[in-house]
Structures are given as C-alpha cells and as structure tokens.
Structure 1
Amino acid sequence: MKVLRFNQDSTCCVVSAAPHLVSIYNCDPFGKCFELDNRSTSNGREGSPQYTVADGGTSEESDREFVIEMLFSTSLVAIADRSQGSSNGKKLKIVNTKRKSTICEISFPHEIVDVVMNRKRMCILLESDQIFVYDISCMKPLETIDLWEDHFKRTANTNAKSKGKKQNDLARERRNSVGARIRPRMALSGDDRSILCYTSYSANKNNPDSYLLHDAVVFDALNVTPINYLNSMHKGNISSLAVSHDGKSIATASDKGTIIRVFNTGVDSEYDSTKPLLHEFRRGTRPCNLYQLVFNRSATLLGCVGGTDTIHIFNLNNSDRNGISGEAGDDELLLANNQSDTLRDTKGSSESPKQLANYISRRIKATIPNQNLRRDFAHINVELGTENCLGFPDEFPHQAYLASSDGQFKVYSLPSTSGECVLTKNSTFN
C-alpha cells in the first residue's frame, strides 16, 4: 500500500492499495468513503474509470505513480494516473466523489508531477518544470510559470546559445518524477490568500555548469504576481517544502536533512528582509531523506517525516532565534551578506588584519555544527522501512494523525510537555 497524502484539514486520507486503485478514507469516524478503479482494458487501452464505495482488495505493490489532491472535505478531487503511460500522465481529471463522475479533464504538454489547490486556486507542476495556475471556480488557466525561463531571465549575462545548450543538457539528465528526491517543490497556502511557494534554480558558484534548487519564490496566486524571492535557504538542494495555512511562513529542509528552517514569506507589510529566518531546528546529525514537512493550522507546530524510525514535531511558539548554525557549511549561506560586507571592509582599511581575522573566525565557526539548536518538542516512533504521512487535524488541535504503508492509521495525542506522543487509536485500511 502507498499512502499518498492527507487533505488540507486532515479530515481525509488518500491511499493506493493497488496499481489501478485509489481510495479515500474519512479520518473521524474512520472509514472508506470513495474508491476509484482506473484499471486498463485487456487490449492496453484505458478503460472507463469505475467510481465505487466497495471495499478494495490488495495486490502486489508496483511502481505506480498516482498524483492526487483533495479539496478539503468537499467532493472535489484532482487525479492524474501516471502508471498507465505518459499520455495518461499528462491528463488531470477533476472528479466529483459524491456524484461518482468526472467533471472535466485537462491535458498538459508534459506529465504531471504534483497538484495543490485551495478554494480559490489550483496549481499543477509538470515534468518540464512548469507550474500552471488555474482559477478553480471555472477551471480557467491564469498563468504559466516556467522555472527555467525565470532562472535564465535572472542570469541574463550568458548568451542565448549557451543558455539553450545548458537547459537542454540538464533537461536530458533530469527527470522530474513523482518519486525523485531532488526536483522542484511547491506548496499552496490553505486560505483564500493563495500564497504559492516553489523552489527555484540558481547557479552553483563552485560549478557554473550545475544548478541548485536552494532558492524559493513566494508568489501571489490570487492576484498572479510574485511577492518575494528567498536566496540560498540551504547549502544543498531543497528536498522538502511546506507553507503555513495563512501563507506567512515557509518551512524547508535540504537533501542532507539534518536542519529544518522556517522563514518569513514576506506577505505582510511588517516583513524584515534582513531577518527572514524565523526558526531553526536540528532533526539529527546523520543525513536523512525528508519527504514531508507539514504545519498545523495555527502554525504553532511543524511535523517532519523522513526515512528514519522517528517522526519529529517541532514547537514554533518558543524556539530560539539566536543561533544561525547547522549542517557543516550551510550557515555560510545564511551569513553570506554579512560576510561579504565584512570582506569588503577589510580592503583599504587600517584595521584590515583584525577584521580579516574576525571574518575567517566566523567562517570557521559557521562550518561547525551547533549542537545547541532546538530539537523536537514531540516525537513518534515508527517502524523503520515503512512510508508514513503525518496530518494535524483542524478539528482536534491536540492530536496528530499518522497513515503508514503497512496499512495502519493511527491517532496520537500530543504531549503537554516535551516527550513522546501517546497512541490513542489504531485502525486498518482495508
């Protein structure tokens, strides 16, 4: 079984028990409420999807790639099935689960990697590193964001031929697949402000021919205009990203996975561009693949799920903002502006030796991991090797939901003081 995701308020969970089967479960009370059987006909052509509420059987797991997003607890679901060929992977079906019918089908030039939506907007990320923004009320396309095009507009110092060559070479090397660890990420705020955050390419200073995904763009999807650009959020590529319900905060983790950072998106007038970093946490000291970050509705908690046997929950209310340190070398990026200013000051100054010594000292200090960074407020121990998905239900702010690839759905009670979450209910996907 593959656990796909919770909806925005964690009232429902989407799972796939077979290559052609997608099921939606209510979380409270727990039970299956919808099932899509999207199997192909025997001659290889796609058959008509069957919408049922019957129990689904299990089968051997395969490399199926469903992309699905549910609009809160409404009957609107967006589904793309990449498991039946590239042509089907380019189609997004908007399904009404109550009427058990397809409302519309939208075709795209490339395969679909991710879909996010709220009550105002729907955003679709394609394999070609393009994001399509739609008005969800009438399914009207509003904007196409090309991550490569935006990057080369910002780096207009190279000639057009060179740009095109680099773009084509990297496009051949990279497949922006659903299961790829390093690929563009996007997240959309749950409220009507519709703040879209997505990772952006930037050139590697040490290797100009390679590119990193360690920047992020804050985009107003409601008014279709960019708001802010956050530079060098990590030293490595951003592998996981989340945005708070109100769009004011963005959480990121790099492919190293040892440090979690929360930044101000700058959607409010009181935004301080000199202090974008709000919180910084240490998940652990060993590298780990983090594949989910999730805020609770009030943005007081941040959940972190990865390939270890522990799920971490961080408290955003009282974290320490004094330390700017983390994975080796990562904080040099966060201190880059201050350091570059210091370096400029050392030139032509009578105090150059002293300032240069301070500069070098700060660089060395920045490469040493700080063990005093805040750790998790609460944690959940899970079985190593299972894939997990975490949700914070809006209805029950002191609980956390956990869906696992071993077919288990668990409800945990969050501790009042730092410690382990308490299991209060256990159900099974059938």
Structure 2
Amino acid sequence: MTSTKPTANISIIPAHTSPLFSLVTNTDGTKCASASDKGTLIRVFDTGTSKLLNEFRRGADRAEIYSIAFNSDSTRICVGSDKGTVHIFNLDGASPGARMFQGGVSPSAGPHYGEVIQTPHHSHQASGNRQSSFAFMKDLLPKYFSSEWSFAQFKVAADCRCICAFGGEKNTVIVVCADGSFYRFMFDPQKGGECVRESYNKFLKENDDD
C-alpha cells in the first residue's frame, strides 16, 4: 500500500568539493557554517534557501578546523584549528560600516575597520574583513585574491588543537586547547586586528619522569 504521509522538504547545500570536516548552525538554525578537510575556506549558508551568504579564507595552508561558533546575534563567527590560531570573521551587518553601505552610503564615509592590521597586501571590506588590495582585478586573478580574510585573530602559545566560542562578556572569545590550556581574549569591534589576551590557565600538568 502506498503511503500518503507528506514528506518534509529537503534542502541540499553544495558546501565543498572536499569532504566535510566541521559543520555548525547558529542558535535558531537559520544559518550554518562549514569547513572541509582542507580547512582553507569557511562558508556560511542560509539553511532555508541553501544560499551561500559568506565565504571566508582562514589561510592558504591546510588545517583541521575543530571549532566554528556563531555569536549570540549571528553577526560574527570564530574559527579554531590545529594551528593554534583563532580567526574572527564579520558576517553581513556586523559593523556600522556594513550597515551604512547597505543603506546607500559609501563605506569610506564610516569608520575604517581593521586599522590595527598593518598588512600591505590587504584592504578592508565594508564589514571590516580584510581583502587583498588586488581584489579589484578578481576577474583576471585567481580566486585567492578576491577572498575575505579574518577581521580579528590571535594565536595561542602552542600549535595544538583548540576549540573556541564567544564569551559571556562583550567582545570576548574563549579558547580551550588539547594541552589543557584555557584562554580568554578580547577583540576591538571597530579596529579588529590582533586580540588582547585577558586571562590564561593551565588545567593539565605534564607527568614527571620520576
């Protein structure tokens, strides 16, 4: 007998050409972020329409992405990997500069985000995320040059696996690493760049040889 029970709609998101390594949704399930086993790109999708909302570049070298986390209002994500680095990316509408641009005002009329980062080959999006200064030639150059890079970032003491999340205090990120270390960093929501370490603890001790 044929069942007449209705089936739920299924949305298929073509996230990556390589196997998925990390996948997370925001609190209300309207967005999801993913990374492949290459760990170079992080993509954010609308779960209702399967539309690609953002594509971010963590780096050029392969990495294992062990953590992707949205903040409480889904305007930023933080990404942790086995490289001991954490990157913070602004999503659409994360900064006043992005909102001004969407309202029809040139982003140059607003604050200049990412001023702390003195990287000669990168300019900045209206969102504050870095972009190559060669992005205007994106139709002629490889895709690498049109990528969005992190708005803010920091590196923990050791190159090890770590997971991260936005903290309860405003503009903070919490990191726990496989070596038992705990960090809390603060980032500047306007300037971005290198984050400031506020606290550090080590919960695991190495065994003595004797």
The alignment's TM-score, normalised by the length of structure 1, stands at: 0.33
Structure 1 residues 313, 425: closer, same or farther in 2, change over 3 A? same
Corresponding residue for 2:133?
none
Map of 1:293 onto structure 2: 68
User: What amino acid does structure 2 have at the position aligned with 1:286?
Assistant: D
Matched AA of 1:406? D
Q: Does 1:237 align with 2:40?
A: no
**Deviation string, structure 1 residues 234-259 (Cα, Å, up to 9, x no partner):** 11111111100111100011111111
Structure 2 match to 1:246:
28
1:279–1:320 CA contact under 8 A, matched in 2:
no
Alpha-carbon separation, structure 2, partners of 1:366 and 1:388 = 37
User: Following TM superposition, by how much is the alpha carbon of 1:406 offset from its aligned partner in structure 2, in angstroms?
Assistant: 2.5
2:87 to 296, 312, 329: 312
CA distance in 1, matches of 2:53, 2:9: 18
3-state secondary structure, aligned to 1:231: coil
**Aligned residue among 137, 140, 148 for 1:374:** 148
- Residue 177 (structure 2) aligns with: 404
Which residue identity does 1:428 align to in structure 2? Answer: K
Residue 169 of structure 2 aligns to a residue whose secondary structure is coil
Question: Which of 55, 59, 62 pairs up with 1:284?
Answer: 59
Deviation (angstroms), 1:428: 2.8
Q: Select the structure with the greater relative contact order (CA < 8 A; seq sep ≥ 6).
A: 2
Q: Which digits, 9 at most, give the CA deviation of each residue in 1:284-309, with x for residues without a partner?
A: 11222212111111111111111224
Cα shift at 1:226: 4.3
Normalized per residue, the structure richer in helix is: 1
1:5-404 equivalences under 5 Å are 226-266=8-48, 271=49, 276-316=51-91, 317=94, 318=98, 368-393=142-167, 395-404=168-177
Moved more, 228-237 or 256-265: 228-237
Alignment CA distance shift 1:290-1:375 (3 Å): same
Instruction: State the partner residue of 2:115.
Output: none
TM score, norm. by length of structure 2: 0.66
Q: Is the 8 A contact 1:288 1:306 kept in 2?
A: yes
C-alpha spacing 1:240/1:300, structure 2 compared with 1 (3 Å): same
The amino acid across from 1:290 in the alignment is I
Number of residue pairs aligned between Structure 1 and Structure 2: 155
Task: Indicate the RMSD between aligned Cα atoms, in angstroms.
Answer: 2.5
Letter in 1 for 2:77: L
Any runs of at least 4 consecutive aligned residues in structure 1 with deviations exceeding 4 A, and if so which?
318-321
Q: Does 1:418 align with 2:192?
A: yes
- Alpha-carbon separation, structure 2, partners of 1:373 and 1:246: 27
Answer yes or no: is the 8 Å Cα contact 1:303–1:311 preserved in 2.
yes
How far is 1:410 from its partner? 1.5
* Shift in alpha-carbon separation, 1:286–1:297, aligned structure 2, 3 A: same
Q: Gapped runs of 5+ residues in structure 2?
A: 1-6, 99-124, 128-138, 205-210
